[in-house]
Structure 1
Amino acid sequence: MSMGRRTIRWLLVALGAAAQVSAQAADDGIEFFEKSIRPILVQHCYECHSQAAAEKGKLQAGLLLDSKQGVLTGGESGPAIVAGKPDKSLLIGALKYESYEMPPKGRLPASVIADFEKWVKMGAPDLREAMSAPAPRRTAFQITAEDWAHWAFQSLHKSPPPKVHDAAWVRDDLDRYVLAKLEQAGRRPSGEADRAALMRRTTFALTGLAPTPEEIAAFIADDRSDGFERVVDRLLKSPEFGVHWGRHWLDGVRYADNIDKSGEYRRWVVRAFNDDLPYDKFLKLQIAGDLIPADETAPADRVHESGASLDGITATGMMSLAVWEQVGRDLAVAEIVDSQIDLVGRQLLGLTLACARCHDHKFDPISTKDYYSLAGVLFSSHIATGKLIADDRLGTDLVEVPLLNAEQAAANRTLDEQIAEAEEKIASLAKKIPQAAKLADLTKTFPDLEAQLAKATTSANKKKLNEQIAKAKAEQEKLTADQKSSGWEVNPPELQEIATIRAEIADLQKQKFKAPSAVSIREGGVPGSNRAKIGDAPIYLRGEYTREGEIVPRRFPTILAGEMQIPLGERTQQSGRRELAEWIASAENPLTARVMVNRVWQQLIGRGLVRSPDNFGKLGERPTHPELLDHLAQRFLASGWSVKQLVREIVLSATFRQASFVSAEEARLDPDNAAISHMNRRRLTYEELRDSLLRLGRTTSEDAPTTTSAAATEMPRRTMYEALDRRKTDVTAAIFDGPDSKAIVPFRAETTTAPQALFLMNNALVVDTAKRLAAQLQKDPQLTTDSQRLDRLWLLTLGRPPETEEMETAFGFIGKHSWEGFVQALLGSNEFAYLD
């Protein structure tokens, strides 16, 4: 957790701390609260501290500020208001920015702060109705019987699929769990989607792309009993499957290509999904791939000199995607580890482990000791080089490992030794002719500096380069003057010898094996930091790295791994990451399979069986179909952790094939479709929408840079491969709720805003797509009539044939306006942007 996030949390805690109010507040006090205090709480606090926030899984620090009871219960830091004494109230100090800084987005006006002081002097009167909290807040840590019994901490429960009346509807045992719940309520599932809609839905679900008209026609005409299975199997084998499902994974690990500069981690993720790498191995490699020996069957050219596979080293790039601020090195180390724990907890285990950094978790049975026991594992590893930039602040330089096999690395070392020897010769020769050597080096410097100056875009860079050039010229003039007065030789024989050796060095450099470098985690703490060595870590009191408390042994959370654990320090001389990876990816861990199964269900059905996919704790949602969740998790394990098989089983089910139509009565009974009585309609993601526009009328291209000489019919790389830089905001992606590379994104939001419509009306990509597609339709020699052109247009954009009334409307519009205008109208329609 960053310094800013931690400060915000403390300040919000302070704001919501309980006030000891007078039992009989005066009427004028209540009126003052309603007019001057409550609106401020609503505006600045309810987003994170209200019942609504709790229902969305966004409640911070257990504070409910939208009720009197919530204020009386208080927050994690204890009372922040001393009734009648504003000078002793933490709240007032925070509002004044004297202790904390509340609200974090900017200090409130002095008049508002004065109102809060007045309110506290009155005794903080508040007659709001008490509301029940989503879960009782812990005041002292103890794992209770209720904790042990929490559904997510139980072993997978095995039960036979329930009996149903309408067995003919069932296509897979998973359907029985869905149908049984509907039948118990006297309800029915919707009918099956028509074949065109099912084809479009399935192709997008598996590849993130629209089906071609030819694929749609073939499926509609295929009357074989296994026709749909053939479609699904073809899509699962498509290389586009890995691109699409890899993007889902990258959402949850905060992917940014300004961190993964070579793109190797992203490529590995795509390959892993396409190769159906078992999910347990997928996780192990990302946590500790550098410590796991390469498989005996691995080819020698894919094994690093350390004995790990090149893929294993690349996979640990996940751990390098931590988010931290440029602060003092020791604080930055704590921030990096907190970010890693947050990722491991929420993405892999579905638990908010990072909430226990400063105190015992207030809702879940995760203690501060549990947190620092895990932190010790990650403190004993590092992703940052330890390089300081200024004032002891840690730079953003990450560990990058060249992906060379043992033979290549050995050859490069030999060449490096030869290069080093040659450079020593140059240094020895230069000592004999110091002035001439320096003058020669300066002369070579000018062209490079001037080239950099020509490319510089900021005034700061230009100023810096001009200063360097001026300094070099001054040195050159000084040496020239010295040569004239002293008479030393400008071009002695040694310079020619140096030039010859440098040419030899250049040749040696060309002989070295070139390989991309992958960001990777390595053993040992961050060099130069307070956690530089492998070993157990102390508890940081209240999360402050300068206040070290009890040292706790490295181990796993008690609620999941039990109380009788052998400390990792007694099991290994290494960091413990490999043991952590084995424990997380174990079939005995009750969370890992459940969490992944839920994520796959969410991507395919539209909502997870657990609606809070990154929080299976007390503040998270309970599963709508707990038996189905465990049924799928057991099948997942039995399949050898095969993601593709899990996807296949869900997609072939009757549940997935349901139509998205819902009656008014059904919508009233179940507005969130918790019973899954129909398919959830969803909007295309940003990537799906952009790729759809790019593909209309173009061929595809793989993950390779797009050249300026590319033909007009060539499609640029898929959006998955476009730049995603934490330092910049992609406005178009933001408009359509695209990826956030700074945050763990358990699911994409679906907002509806005016800029989305304006984009589809005016953006150059949309306009260009409309022009290109309109021209293609009119020039295609196989399309001889406007009816044929419209039929193909509908199939390309909406995935179905047009209806008669739609054809008539289209003819009327095109007759008055243009093909291009009509194509753009279809691209701006809801049906183009949504999946049924």
Structure 2
Amino acid sequence: MLAIILASHASAEVVDFVRDVRPIFEKHCYSCHGEAKQKSGLRLDIKSEAFKGGDGYGELVVPGSVDDSPLIELVTSDDEYSRMPPGDHPLSDTEITTLTRWVEQDAVWPDGVDLAVLEDRLDHWSFKPLADVEVPDVANQAWPRNDVDRFVLARLEQAGLRPAPPADPRIWLRRVTLDLTGLPPTPDEMTAFLNDVGDDDSAYEAAVDRLLQSPRYGERWAQHWLDVVRYADTHGFEVNTERPNAWPYRDYVIDAFNNDTPYDQFIREQIVGDALDQNAATGFLITASVLLPGQIGKDEPSKRLARQDSIDEIVVNISQTFLGLSVGCARCHDHKFDPISQHDYYAMQAFVAGVEYADRELDPADAKRRRSESAKLKSELAKLDNQLARFTPLAASGATRPAINSRLNTDRFTPVQTKRVRFTIHATNKLEPCIDELEIFDGEGNNLALASRGATVTSSGSKTQKNRHELRFLNDGRYGNSRSWMSNQTGKGWVEVELAKTAEIQRIAWGRDREGKFADRLATEYTIEVADERGEWTRVADASDRAPLDSGKSKPLAFSTDGLSADEAAEATKLNDRRSELEKRIARLSDIPRAFAGKFRTPDAIHLLRRGDPEQPEDLVAPTVLASFGSVSLPADAPEQQRRAVLADWITDPANPLTARVMVNRIWQGHFGMGIVETASDFGRMGTKPTHPELLDWMARQFIDSGWSVKQLHREIILSATYRQSNRFDEDGFASDADGRLLWRFPTRRLDAEAIRDAMLMTSGRLDYKMGGRGFNLFNQRGGLSGFTPVESFSGDGLRRMIYAHKVRRERDAVFGAFDCPDGGQSTARRIESTTPIQALNLFNSRFTLEQSEAFATRVKSESNADELESQIRRVYQIALNREPAAEEVSDAMPVVRDYGLQSLCRALFNSNEFLFLP
């Protein structure tokens, strides 16, 4: 039909876009591809957008080429699912002819005739430079304590609202202590503060400084950060394998907050910490879930898709954490709302295309030193083994020799002259036999079997792989599985060593794996023979006089002085003591600290992928920052580390309009429960508008000018009159601002799950303040497919703060998981605050609560008059709620304590709103 149309209109009049084409688009296309909606990324009411095409193909129209123009293909398709417009009203033949002639005539679309104007996507408050904001004047000059208050008060006065009166000092100290440290103040801290409160703010300032200097501060605020970056101690997905070395990144974040690491430096360290002596910090790049090699299909397309997914997670983490942008939306097509193209997305991928999800040594220089020192000690250990072998009982002497060991076995026999030795294996504990080194010693302790001494080897056959298990490894002087010989027969085989010349030998040493990593393929029955001058073989040792098999792959060799003279026993003991000391030192040196912080290699070549499909690569893309926000770029062959360094520099450039705004908003949210921008990780066009835009920009500038000090930002906020308000209800405020976004009172909110658990432990007197290191178990296993049984009773490390728990991705803690504790599956910019029956049931009936209630009661009895119930009741209130109980409360509690014990009152207060909510 298309050919007929072309032929019949080849000489027709020129098609006019406004007169002939646009009416067709208006009638059939604009409802799905116009200003209000752009299905498949296609918009036809604006020239520049129309010619770009949609998500599934390139340019919609190729002027002059009907066959290459998707527009004509779509409107003429015989496939009802592909034909446009869809449904029962396709274009008429006349309309198709008009569009075909228009394309054939070079698809002229005059400028200035569009019915709509393309919206400037950069015309958005967060994409503009930080404004030079002046602190506003306010009518109520008496209320503000600092400039933060003037911005808040100006907005309240504009809305006709007034702030709440200040909170009681006791309330304020409990609030700020829980807020900054996640723990309540002690009774002594409360008493000292109340005694210091005077007419000025010195007591408040001193309290804030003390709390910011506490190591508990970093533990609390690191948790907010770990929520955003999706930190967990397992890989996720169905297998959910443990990440045993993820915790150094968690500890790095805690230390960074405690040390008030400048925020721009904090960003750089997390992106390129390997160049800044902060190797654990780059754990940030790979905090997300990832498929392990065994979970990826063996075919190349599956590998390419998995690699794309893993790099995507890094780009998403960087963009939403530091920039508050959903860059990942542009993986398959240009961003629907923000000025981020698909090219931008892949250009961002190019910055991190050399990052692999893997462990890395925390201190490469120290690791190199350790390996070098360990190699020297192992050489000394080998010499000691040779010396100790002199005290091994003679073969077939009637004495029982040590058990066969996978690491090292010595067969000593009466000295014999020979040039050839044969070791024959008759049985193994599993599979084909394997020997990492066969050594033949003379009376002076020289290993005559070494290839370097001219010895040669033959065998019954070898099961070789490239550079593994080759016969030449049998006498190369190097130990370990990777330098071993393996027979090609199950359970049997032989090797023969021919010395450079006839010599007197008296000892054979051999092992399956001297490094102690493998214990299978171990010879359990064997014979050692020597050949005389005529070539006849004589047995000199075998396994018959060995003790029962010791199959442990790393157990130390048994040491005994049985049958030795006093002098021999003394010498052997001295050598063995030295050997034990060396083994301990080697073990310590071998324990090289590592972190799940990524490995860095030559970057992948990054191509723009059509529809995000790795099997449809298009143009090669070089590392380039988001085009709408900068012009920084690198060549496609730029070194890996340089790429990340340049990316970090661009993000931390004070001219970047997003970085400071996003972090200031996160800190504000941490103090008030919601940020000035509610969508804390989305500052794009689909995010919410700021309630106080001028305040946000003013604080962002102050933040940068302070040297990016997070602690200084805390001080500005916490010492404000805004933060010091009570939570008193006001009908006028509620009527016009029910959510309290304008801050006409302090917004009450429930404590986070971790703060509830930590506060209960601290109150009960059981909290372990030990910091850092491997996390404690919340479940009976640290990773796996399913079946995670919760730990119900905790002791030891289990009484540490909850941030030090081993976090299993997508598994919630049995008790506190119900309190909206993120599972590490997705980034949590702001925790929701739900109220469910499960929360009350968990907190009232769990074994954890019962045990802490009992411990709390025991503590109180030890700190007060054990025979005075009223004294005990008062002490419970002082510790748990930082206040004295009212007379009515004492009266109500008395019969409960008398009849059911003090632990019942402790349990009730743990479940009270006053304990669980920030006042």
The two structures have a TM-score, normalised by structure 2, of: 0.64
Q: 1:752-771 alignment to 2 at 5 Å?
A: 752-771=835-854
CA apart distance, 1:809: 2.4
Q: Mean Cα displacement is larger for which, 334-343 or 807-816?
A: 807-816
Q: Report the Cα distance in structure 2 between the residues aligned to 1:713 and 1:487, rounded to whole angstroms.
A: 58
Determine what percentage of the aligned residue pairs are the same residue.
32
Aligned-partner Cα distance in 1 for 2:219–2:705: 26
Match of 1:340 in 2: 314
Tell me if structure 2 keeps the 8 A contact 1:213–1:796: yes
Aligned partner of 1:517 in structure 2 is: 594
Distance 1:182 1:154 in 2: 26
> For residue 456 of structure 1, what is the aligned residue in structure 2?
none
Question: Once the two structures are superposed, what CA deviation does each residue of 1:223-251 show, in whole Å capped at 9, x if it has no partner?
Answer: 33211111111100100001001111111
For 2:705 and 2:421, locate their aligned partners in 1 and report how far apart those are by CA, in whole Å.
Answer: 74
Residue identity matched to 2:748: R
Return the alpha-carbon distance in structure 2 between the equivalents of residues 477 and 523 of structure 1. Answer: 38
Distance verdict in 2 for CA 1:539–1:429, change over 3 Å: farther
1:371 aligns with 2:356: no
Residue among 604, 619, 639 paired with 1:550: 619
1:134-149 equivalent positions in 2, closer than 5 A: 146-149=120-123
- Pick from 356, 379, 395 the counterpart of residue 383 of structure 1: 356
1:161-560 → structure 2 map (5 Å cutoff): 161-224=135-198, 225=200, 226-258=202-234, 261-262=244-245, 263-292=247-276, 309=277, 312-325=278-291, 326-327=295-296, 328-379=302-353, 381-384=354-357, 398=358, 400-404=359-363, 406=365, 409-413=368-372, 415-416=374-375, 419=378, 434-435=423-424, 480=525, 489-490=541-542, 506=583, 509-510=586-587, 512=589, 514-524=591-601, 533-534=602-603, 536-560=605-629
Give the 3-state SS of the residue equivalent to 2:607 in structure 1: strand
- C-alpha deviation, 1:588, in angstroms: 1.4
- 3-state secondary structure, aligned to 1:662: coil
Which deviates the most, 501-510 or 204-213? 501-510
Q: Which letter maps to 2:280?
A: T
Contact 2:262 2:708 in 1 (8 A): yes
Structure 1 residues 782-831: Cα deviation after superposition (integer angstroms, max 9, x where no partner): 57743433332223222332223323322354455443222222221222
Structure 2 distance, partners of 1:181, 1:21, is: 48
Q: CA deviation at 1:540?
A: 1.2
The one-character-per-residue Cα deviations of 1:104-125 (angstroms, maximum 9, x if unpaired) are xxxxxxxxxxxxxxx98999xx
Amino acid of the structure 1 residue aligned with 2:628: I
1:357/1:542 contact within 8 Å kept? yes
Matches within 5 A, 1:725-744: 725-726=808-809, 728-744=811-827
Tell me if the contact between 1:733 and 1:739 (Cα under 8 Å) persists in the aligned partners: no
Q: Is the 8 A contact 1:370 1:557 kept in 2?
A: yes
CA contact (8 A) 1:436 1:489 kept: no
CA 86–510 in structure 1, closer or farther in 2 if over 3 Å, else same: same
Higher strand share: 2
Distance in 2 (CA, whole Å) between partners of 1:714 and 1:345 is 36
3-state DSSP of counterpart to 1:549: strand
CA distance in 1, matches of 2:589, 2:179: 44
Structure 2 vs 1, CA of residues 815 and 372 (structure 1 numbering), >3 Å: closer, same or farther? same
Higher helix share: 1
Residue 353 of structure 1, CA deviation: 0.4
Secondary structure at the counterpart of residue 290 of structure 1: helix
2 CA distance for matches of 1:407 and 1:556? Answer: 35
Distance 1:420 1:438 in 2: 31
CA change 1:832–1:415 in 2 (3 A) is: closer
More off after superposition, 363-372 vs 549-558: 549-558
TM-score (norm 1): 0.70
Letter in 1 for 2:884: P
- The root-mean-square deviation of aligned C-alpha atoms, in Å, is 4.6
| Corresponding residue of 1:746 | 829
SS in 2 for 1:666: helix
Distance in 1, Cα, partners of 2:673 & 2:762: 24
Output the amino acid matched with 2:371: N
Give, in whole Å, the separation in 2 of the partners of 1:488 and 1:727.
62
| 178 and 77 in structure 1: CA distance in 2 versus 1, 3 angstrom threshold | farther
Give the distance between the partners of 1:686 and 1:590, measured in 2 at CA. Answer: 34
Asked if structure 2 preserves the Cα contact closer than 8 Å seen for 1:383 and 1:522, the reply is yes
Q: Residues 727 and 677 of structure 1: is their aligned pair in 2 closer, same or farther, counting only changes over 3 Å? A: closer
- Kindly provide the amino acid, as one letter, of the partner of residue 616 in structure 2: R
> Shift in Å at residue 740 of structure 1?
2.1
| Amino acid corresponding to residue 435 of structure 1 in structure 2 | T
Q: Following TM superposition, by how much is the alpha carbon of 1:596 offset from its aligned partner in structure 2, in angstroms?
A: 0.4
Residue correspondence of structure 1 range 35-54 to structure 2 within 5 A: none
**Where does residue 613 of structure 1 map in the other structure?**
680
**Who is 1:629 aligned against?**
696
SS at match of 2:231: coil
Residue 777 (structure 1) aligned to one of 825, 841, 860: 860
**CA gap 1:231/1:544 in 2 versus in 1, 3 angstroms:** same
| Deviation at residue 716 of structure 1 after TM alignment | 1.4
C-alpha displacement of 1:218: 1.8
Over residues 651-682 of structure 1, what are the superposed CA-to-partner deviations in whole Å (9 max), with x where a residue is unaligned? 11111111112223321211111211111111
SS in 2 for 1:286: helix
Q: What residue in structure 2 maps to residue 686 of structure 1?
A: 753
Where does 1:561-640 land on structure 2 (aligned, <5 Å)? 561-562=630-631, 565-569=632-636, 574=641, 576-640=643-707
C-alpha change, 1:342 and 1:491, in structure 2 (3 Å) is: same
Shift in CA distance, 834/89, structure 1 to aligned 2, threshold 3 Å: farther
Mapped partners of 2:820, 2:325: distance in 1: 24
CA distance in 1, matches of 2:351, 2:117: 23
Paired with 2:117 and 2:697, the residues of 1 have a C-alpha distance of 24
> Does the Cα contact within 8 Å between 2:324 and 2:680 map onto a contact in 1?
yes
Alignment match, 1:465: none
How far off its partner does 1:734 sit? 2.6
Identify unmatched segments of 5+ residues in structure 1.
Answer: 1-19, 23-50, 52-59, 64-74, 92-118, 124-139, 293-308, 385-397, 446-470, 525-532
Could you tell me how far apart the structure 1 residues matched to 2:604 and 2:303 are?
Answer: 18
The SS at the match of 2:764 is: coil
Whole-Å separation in 1 of the counterparts to 2:171 and 2:611 = 54
Contact 2:676-2:690 at 8 Å conserved across structures? yes
Q: 1:165: Cα distance to partner?
A: 1.1
**Separation of aligned partners in 2, 1:437 and 1:256:** 50
Q: Counterpart amino acid of 2:909?
A: L
Asked whether the equivalents of residues 765 and 855 of structure 2 are also in contact (C-alpha less than 8 Å), the reply is: no
Q: Which has the larger radius of gyration?
A: 2
Cα distance between partner residues in 2 of 1:382 and 1:480? 49
Q: Cα deviation per residue 1:63-122 (whole Å; 9 max; x = unaligned)?
A: 9xxxxxxxxxxx97799xx99x9994599xxxxxxxxxxxxxxxxxxxxxxxxxxx9899
Match of 2:708 among 636, 641, 651: 641
* Aligned: 1:695 with 2:762: yes
**Farther-moved stretch of structure 1 (695-704 vs 143-152):** 143-152
Distance 1:229 1:472, change over 3 A: farther
Once the two structures are overlaid, the 10-residue window that deviates more, 687-696 or 697-706, is 697-706
- TM-fit CA distance, 1:611: 0.3
Q: Distance in 2 between matches of 1:62 and 1:193?
A: 53
Q: Residue type matched to 1:353 in 2?
A: V
Deviation, structure 1 residue 181: 0.7
Query: For residues 353-411 of structure 1, what are the alpha-carbon distances to aligned partners after superposition, in whole Å with 9 as ceiling and x for unaligned?
Result: 000000000000000000000111111x1223xxxxxxxxxxxxx2x222336255235
